[in-house]
Structure formats: C-alpha cells, structure tokens
C-alpha cells in the first residue's frame, strides 16, 4: 500500500515540478514517470522496514 501511495505522490510531485519549470506535456509525463518510480522504490523499502519491525 505504501508503494502505491508513494507512486501516486511521486507522479503528482513530478508533474508539479515540470509545470513550474514550464515544461510541455511530454516533459510533464516524463517527470511524473521518473518521480513515480523513485517514490515507489522508496515506498518499497519503507514497506520492507515496516514488515521487519512487526
């Protein structure tokens, strides 16, 4: 669940970052994808850490 939430938050942050920098639609899509992947990986490690602690 943390992975999905991280991917969604990352996609929104990536889109916002590209929008602020004046990027076109393809720039916004690329930033969204990259940020979603990064945040999903961070979410995966967070999920593993929580699972280990429980």
Query: Confidence band (pLDDT; 50, 70, 90) for 35?
Result: very high
The tens digit of pLDDT for each residue in 9-30 reads: 999 999 999 999 999 999 999 9
The answer to whether 17 touches 31, Cβ cutoff 8 Å, is yes
Q: How far apart are CA 52 and CA 48, in angstroms?
A: 6
CA distance 15 to 20: 9
pTM, to two decimals: 0.90
């Amino acid at each position: 669940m943390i992975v999905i939430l991280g991917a969604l938050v990352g996609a929104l942050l990536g889109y916002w970052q590209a929008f602020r920098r004046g990027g076109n639609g393809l720039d916004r899509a690329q930033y969204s994808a990259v940020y979603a992947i990064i945040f999903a990986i961070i979410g995966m490690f967070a999920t593993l850490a929580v699972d280990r602690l429980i």
